[in-house]
Amino acid sequence: MKAISTLAIAIIIIIVIAVVAAAAYFITSSSHHPSVATTTTPTIATNTTAPVTLTVVTFSGESANFIQYAGELFHQIHPNVQVEVIKYPFSEYIQKELTALEAHSSQYDIVGFTSTSALDVASYLLPLNQSVFNFSDIIYPQEDFGGLYYNASISKTEIIGIAYETAVYLMAYNATIFDNQTLAQEFEQEYHMNFSPITYENWTVVLDVDQFLMSHHITKYGFLIDDHVAHGIIDAFPAVYGWYYFRNSSLNMGNLAGLPNYNIMFEGKILPGFNYPLPSFNSTSGVQALITYRELVSYEPSPSQIQISYDNLPEFFSQGAGAFLFTSQLSYINNSKDVLLAPLPGGYAETGTDFLGISKYSSHPQLALEFLQFLVSPKIQESAFLKYGKFPISKQAFLSLVSNSSLPSYQREWLQEAYLAALNATANPPNVPQTYPALIPSFNNEAFQFLTASQYNETYAMYVLQQAANAWIKALSS
C-alpha cells in the first residue's frame, strides 16, 4: 500500500507540473499573439455564469442607439453579457476616447470613430483579421475609407475597424419635378439629353438642368451643393473631382480610389524619394473640377451671403431641383417621400461611414470581436434600417430590404440606389492625421476664394489649387 501511495503521489506531481507548464505556455502565447488578429473562427466561453460588461464608446445619435439595440439582442443570446454604449456629444467623443486610450485604460472595449478621425485612434486598436468577417457580404468601399490603415513604410494595409452602416454622398432629387413628363420632353427637345438624374453621365448635364429649371422659373435654385468653408468644401469638391480623377491615369496611376488614407486628392502611387503621394488636384483635371464646382454653386445662394452646409441644406431643398448630400441627411428633409436618389453623374459616390474598432487594452477582445461580427450580420443590419433609418453595410440586408414589399416604394428606391452608389463610393477626401488641422483649412480657404471671386478663369483656378497643394506638401513633410 505504501508503494502504491508513493507511485500515486509521483503521478499526481507529474500531472500538476504538466498542467502548470501548459497554462504558462498558453498565457505567454496569448500575450504575444492576440487572438483577435489571428483567429478565423473565435471560440468564446459565453456559457460561463460570470457576468461580463462589454463597453462601447462613441458619439451620441441614432447610430449609437442602433448599437445599443444590437447589444440588447446580443444579451438575449448571451445572457451573462451586457453591452453598454457610452455616448458623448460629437464635439467631445474623440478626445474622451483618446484620453482613455493614451492612458492604456481598459475602460472601453470597443471604440467608435469616423473616417476622418480613424488615424487618431489607429495606433490604439487591435488589427482585425479579414477572414474573421464575411467581407464578401460587406460593401467594401465603405470599409476602405477609414477602416483601413495604409502603413507607407512597409507598403501594407491593415484593418483597424469595421464599418457598421453605409453612408454615401450622392444625388437626391425632387421626384415631382423630374417625373413631370411635360418638363422632361421640353428639356430633351431643347438640350437633347435625358432629364432623369439616374441617366446623367457627366457634370455638364447637371449644369444644363440647373440652367433649364431656373431660366424657366420652375425652381428658385438648381441642384444644391455644400460650399461651407469651415468643412463642407472638402466633401463637395472631391465628389465633383472624382469624375475627372477616375479618367486620368496619370493621376490615379491604376489605383482609381487612390491609396488608403490619402484617397483621390493624392496621386495613386508614392513616387521615388517621397514617403507620401503628391497632391493630385493641382492639375488640369483639378482645374476642370474646380470650375465645374464654381458653376454648380452659381445656381444656389451666393456663398458670400449664405453658405450651404450639412445643417441648412434640408431647409433649402424644397426650393431647388435637388441636392448632393449624404444619405444621413434624408431624414431631415420635409416630404422626403417625394425625394428619390441617384449616384453622382457617371455612376459613383463618396463615402462618409462610421466605424468600430477593438481597443488594445480591452479585457474582452474576443467577446468584442464576436459582438462586431453580430452587429454586421445581415439580420441585424436589416433592423438598422427598419428601426433607425440607417442604411446597412451588408449586401444581403440591402437586397432583402429592397424586395420587402411592406416598405414604401420610395424607401425601396432609396435602398436600391444607395446600394448601387455605395459599391462605387470611391471619391473620397484624405483622412491622414494632418487632414483636420492642416489639409482641410488650407484647401477650403483657397477654394472658397475661387468660389466667391467676381471673375475666374483656368489660370486663377490653377493658382489657388497650387497654393493649396504647396500647403499640403508642407504639412506632410513636417
Does residue 428 lie in a domain region? Answer: no
Cα dist from 467 to 252, 407, 447, 450, 472, whole Å: 21, 50, 10, 12, 9
Residues 277 and 414 in one domain: no
Does residue 355 lie in a domain region? Answer: yes
| Burial class (CB within 10 angstroms; exposed 0-12, middle 13-18, buried 19+) of 95 | exposed
Residues 337 and 465 in one domain: yes
- How does pLDDT run along the chain (478 residues), one tens digit per residue? 334 444 344 433 343 334 333 333 332 333 222 233 333 333 344 445 689 999 999 999 999 999 999 999 999 999 999 999 999 999 899 999 999 999 999 999 999 999 888 989 999 999 998 778 999 999 999 998 999 987 767 778 889 999 999 999 999 999 999 999 999 999 999 999 999 999 999 999 999 999 999 999 999 999 999 999 999 999 999 999 999 999 999 999 999 999 989 999 999 999 999 999 999 999 999 999 999 999 999 999 999 999 999 999 999 999 999 999 999 899 889 889 999 999 999 999 999 999 999 999 999 999 999 999 999 999 999 999 999 999 999 999 999 999 999 999 999 999 999 999 999 999 999 999 899 899 999 999 999 999 999 999 999 999 999 999 999 999 999 8
Question: In the prediction, which pLDDT does 49 show?
Answer: 66
Does residue 411 lie in a domain region? Answer: yes
Only one residue has cell 432629387, namely 173
Question: In the prediction, which pLDDT does 11 show?
Answer: 37
Which runs of E-coded beta strand occur in 152-261? 156-159, 162-163, 168-174, 223-224
Residue 166, beta-bridge partner list: 391
Rounded distance between C-alpha atoms, residue 13 and residue 15, angstroms: 5
Residues 338 and 444 in one domain: yes
Helical pair 203-215 and 181-191, crossing angle rounded to 10 deg: 120
C-alpha cell, 439: 489639409
C-alpha cell, 180: 413631370
Rounded distance between C-alpha atoms, residue 401 and residue 374, angstroms: 18
Question: In the prediction, which pLDDT does 243 show?
Answer: 98
Residues 329 and 467 in one domain: yes
Residues 232 and 104 in one domain: no
Does residue 336 lie in a domain region? Answer: yes
What DSSP assignment string belongs to 399-419? HHHHT-TTS-HHHHHHHHHHH
Q: Cβ distance 402 to 419 under 8 Å? A: yes
Residues 181 and 222 in one domain: yes
C-alpha cell, 400: 432583402
Residue 83, beta-bridge partner list: 54
Rounded distance between C-alpha atoms, residue 17 and residue 6, angstroms: 17
At a CB cut-off of 8 Å and minimum separation 6, what does 189 contact? none
Q: What HEC string does 51-67 produce? A: CEEEEEEEECCHHHHHH
Question: In the prediction, which pLDDT does 412 show?
Answer: 97
Residues 357 and 469 in one domain: no
DSSP element (H, E) containing 354: strand 354-358
Does residue 244 lie in a domain region? Answer: yes
Q: Cβ distance 116 to 435 under 8 Å? A: yes
Last residue of a domain, one of 418, 444, 464: 418
Question: In the prediction, which pLDDT does 191 show?
Answer: 96
Identity of the residue numbered 253: M
Residue 239's domain comprises: 167-349+433-475
> Virtual CA dihedral for 184, 187, 193, 195, nearest 10 degrees?
-40
C-alpha cell, 269: 502611387
Output phi, psi for 163, to 5 deg: -70, 135
Does residue 390 lie in a domain region? Answer: yes
Number of domains within the chain: 2
Helix (H, G, I), strand (E, B) or coil at 351: strand
Q: Cβ distance 290 to 447 under 8 Å? A: yes
Reference 360, options 27, 56, 53, 105; nearest CA is 105
Identity of the residue numbered 217: H
Question: Which of the 8 DSSP states describes residue 327?
Answer: G
Residues 161 and 172 in one domain: no
Does residue 341 lie in a domain region? Answer: yes
Residues 192 and 245 in one domain: yes
Rounded distance between C-alpha atoms, residue 470 and residue 474, angstroms: 6
Rounded distance between C-alpha atoms, residue 279 and residue 435, angstroms: 13
Rounded distance between C-alpha atoms, residue 461 and residue 283, angstroms: 10
C-alpha cell, 240: 465633383
The distance in angstroms from the start CA to the end CA of the chain is 80
Query: Can you give the CATH number for the domain in which 391 is found?
Result: 3.40.190.10
Does residue 37 lie in a domain region? Answer: no
Residues 345 and 216 in one domain: yes
Question: In the prediction, which pLDDT does 22 show?
Answer: 36
